[in-house]
């Protein structure tokens, strides 16, 4: 037997959860406001830095140059002293008139200091020796930081804040208009989400039920969904009629054929050839009954149409093992049951019967000699044979492709749908099936039951 199990593929599909249009619009609005706010703050900060470190510094440099020219013309010229700026002049190294906080600064440098309890921008200048060879001294120009902040406030924060408020209002109005534009789509999505195929309410999807602000595109979409829902209701009704009629019309002739085969087998004068033929008819009828039961279960969209009940698994297993004895009649094959444990399930018993009968039918058909062993464990049922087995490529395809048959199937009958039925029923009821196989050794199929009940 192969060591690694291959799970029969599942047909269930899961859809990722997605946010609604309203939520996405709100997220876009918040992100836009955040981006605008960050951009505005960076712009104001940049304007403040440019004003402080570029414009003010350039103005102080020019003011210092102008003072040195004025001092050369008039040795008694007073240092600059205005509302925003004032200066200190140190002649011949005498810094007694310069505040102590400024004395350690090197010439031709620009600083931000705290002076007399307030922030200030300081530029230290000395005369150009080439342009003013006769001048000596050091000029300290002090510009009040509060004036810079006030300028930044009035010429930076206030205009940008007004622009920001206008942008916020415009963005909010845009959000309201966008939300109103998509509200019919959101309403239509809610109607489709609440639509129940079992109890369809087609009136809720009619274009006449749309909100008043729905545009032409929404009306076209609603009309298409309404038409699809109408067709879906017709398909569901057709499926119900088919399963009901097929369940009655197919079982009646099968019952007649089954009874006739049983009568033939009871005849004493029937030849051995006739007995073998009657046995083949009876086996074929049993296979057909199992297939019809499986097809009728799978044909129903959600409701399997079979009553769920509490049943002991061993009862179904015993019955299917007894039926399988006829499948190996005349071959050196033993069908045996190994009971390791027992448990109960709450489900339609017929579903387990169909799954197990298909696995047993496959095992008996592909086993020429040896044994077919059914093991009943604590939470599983396993069917293991000593038959021809399957290669990895074939094992990967069986149960996945309907009507697929391996290389050994040509002379063994069947239509290649048994394992497909097992896979679909496994998916429908959440009973995973694992299969392992090795060519020339045999095959093992295990049905696991996640929620067994104690017996």
pLDDT of residue 314: 94
At 190 the three-state DSSP class reads: helix
Q: What whole-number distance in Å separates Cα of residue 357 and Cα of residue 311?
A: 17
pLDDT of residue 2: 44
In tens, the pLDDT along 423-438 reads 888 888 899 999 898 9
Provide the token pair at 258: 């089954």
The number of beta carbons lying within 10 Å of the beta carbon of residue 307 is 9
Q: Which helix (H) or strand (E) covers residue 48, if one does?
A: helix 21-50
Domain spans, the chain: 22-165, 195-305, 307-455
On average, the pLDDT of the chain sits at 79
- In CATH terms, the fold of domain 195-305 is Helix Hairpins (1.10.287)
**Global pTM value:** 0.50
Same-fold call for 195-305 versus 307-455: no
pLDDT tens by residue, the chain, 455 residues? 444 565 555 544 434 344 566 677 778 778 888 887 787 778 777 776 776 667 778 888 899 999 899 988 888 888 998 887 889 999 888 888 888 888 888 888 888 888 777 788 899 999 988 888 888 889 999 988 776 667 666 766 677 778 778 888 888 888 778 777 777 777 777 777 777 766 666 676 676 677 766 667 777 777 777 777 778 777 777 777 777 776 667 777 888 888 888 888 888 788 888 888 888 888 788 777 777 777 777 776 555 456 788 999 999 999 999 988 888 888 999 999 999 999 999 988 888 988 998 899 889 988 999 999 999 999 999 999 999 988 887 777 775 555 445 555 444 444 456 788 888 888 888 999 998 989 889 999 999 999 899 87
For domain 307-455, the question of CATH label 3.40.50.920 is answered with no
Sign of the torsion formed by the C-alpha atoms of 362, 366, 368 and 371 = negative
Q: Which helix (H) or strand (E) covers residue 370, if one does?
A: strand 370-376
Provide the token pair at 448: 């696991």
Three-class SS of 197-216 = CCCCCHHHHCHHHCCCCCCH
pLDDT of residue 7: 58
The number of beta carbons lying within 10 Å of the beta carbon of residue 326 is 15
């Amino acid at each position: 037997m192969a060591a690694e199990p291959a799970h029969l593929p599942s047909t269930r599909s899961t859809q990722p959860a997605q946010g609604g249009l309203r939520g996405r619009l709100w997220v876009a609005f918040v992100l836009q406001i955040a981006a605008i706010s960050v951009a505005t703050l960076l712009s104001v900060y940049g304007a403040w830095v440019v004003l402080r470190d570029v414009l003010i510094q350039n103005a102080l440099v020019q003011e210092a140059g102008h003072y040195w020219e004025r001092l050369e013309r008039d040795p008694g010229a007073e240092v600059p002293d205005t509302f925003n700026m004032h200066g200190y002049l140190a002649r011949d190294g005498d810094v007694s008139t310069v505040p102590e906080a400024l004395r350690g600064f090197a010439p031709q440098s620009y600083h931000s200091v705290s002076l007399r309890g307030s922030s200030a921008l300081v530029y230290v200048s000395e005369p150009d020796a080439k342009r003013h060879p006769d001048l000596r001294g050091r000029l300290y120009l002090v510009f009040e930081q509060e004036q810079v902040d006030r300028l930044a406030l009035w010429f930076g924060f206030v205009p940008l804040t007004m622009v920001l408020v206008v942008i916020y209002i415009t963005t909010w109005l845009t959000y309201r208009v966008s939300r109103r534009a998509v509200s019919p789509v959101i309403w239509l999505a809610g109607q489709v989400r609440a639509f129940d195929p079992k109890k369809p309410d087609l009136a809720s999807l009619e274009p006449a039920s749309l909100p008043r602000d729905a545009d032409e595109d929404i009306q076209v979409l609603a009309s298409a969904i309404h038409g699809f829902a109408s067709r879906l209701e017709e398909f569901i009704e057709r499926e119900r009629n088919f399963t009901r009629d097929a369940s009655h019309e197919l079982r009646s002739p099968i019952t007649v054929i089954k009874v006739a085969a049983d009568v033939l087998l009871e005849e004493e004068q029937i030849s051995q050839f006739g007995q073998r033929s009657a046995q083949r008819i009876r086996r074929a009828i049993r296979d057909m009954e199992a297939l019809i039961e499986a097809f009728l279960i799978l044909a129903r969209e959600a409701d399997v149409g079979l009553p769920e009940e509490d049943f002991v698994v061993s009862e179904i297993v015993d019955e299917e093992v007894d039926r399988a004895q006829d499948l190996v009649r005349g071959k050196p094959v033993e069908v045996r049951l190994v009971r390791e444990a027992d448990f109960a399930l709450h489900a339609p018993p017929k579903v387990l019967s169909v799954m197990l009968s298909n696995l047993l039918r496959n095992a008996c058909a592909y086993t020429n000699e040896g044994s077919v062993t059914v093991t009943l464990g604590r939470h599983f049922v396993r069917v293991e044979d000593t038959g021809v087995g399957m290669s990895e490529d074939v094992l990967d395809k069986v149960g996945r492709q309907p009507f697929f048959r391996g290389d050994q199937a040509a002379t063994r009958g069947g239509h290649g749908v048994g394992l497909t039925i097992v896979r679909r029923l496994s998916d429908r009821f959440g009973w995973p099936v694992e299969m392992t196989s090795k060519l020339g050794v045999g095959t093992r199929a295990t049905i696991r039951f996640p929620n067994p009940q104690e017996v």
